[in-house]
Amino acid sequence: MAPVAKSVAEEMTAAWSQFGAAISVILLTGSPELTAGTWDTDLSTVEIDGGGYARQSIQLTDFSDPAGNNPVTIASEVGIAFGPAEGGDWAQVTHVALAQYIGGNAILSVSPLAQPVVVEEGNILEIAAGDLQLLVGSA
């Protein structure tokens, strides 16, 4: 019996499943260093450090099926909220990182925001469903 061919979406989903279920979403005040194609995993100098801030997580199952071609992306199907900011405003957020921890730090993606934002005391920062996207391949 011949093997059944998998769709591109099935292939992409299988490849991404190696990362496990939870992916950390991290707010940054700048981009971490990129050396020889690898992100610096020490985010202590660029991660938001303010009252009420905590990394959030998103499940791999909360992303859409792969879409597009060159590039192929998956998008979040749920919103993600940070905050509210407590004890003062947070530093200006300029980037969002997605990270997975499998026997150590692994930064999957770092993306600049279209517009930097300062989360003022008492407010939250929300990433709407669909706004968080991961490049998963290209043709």
Is pLDDT above 70 for 1?
A: no
pLDDT at 23: 86
What's the pLDDT score for residue 21? Answer: 64
Residue 1 lies in a domain: no
Share the mean pLDDT of the chain.
83
- 60-69's contacts with Cβ under 8 Å and 24+ in sequence apart are 60/16, 60/17, 60/19, 60/20, 60/21, 60/22, 60/23, 61/21, 63/16, 63/134, 65/9, 65/13, 66/8, 66/9, 66/12, 66/13, 66/136, 66/137, 69/138, 69/139
* Domain assignment present for 108: yes
pLDDT at 118 over 90: yes
The pLDDT tens digits of the residues spanning 36-93 come to 777 777 888 999 998 999 999 998 889 888 888 878 888 899 999 999 999 999 999 9
Instruction: Quote the domain boundaries for residue 85.
Output: 8-137
Is 2 contained in some domain? no
Looking at the structure of the chain, the number of domains it has is: 1
Does the pLDDT at position 136 exceed 70?
yes
At residue 104 the predicted structure's pLDDT band, cuts being 50, 70 and 90, is: low
On whether residue 21 sits in a domain, the answer given is yes
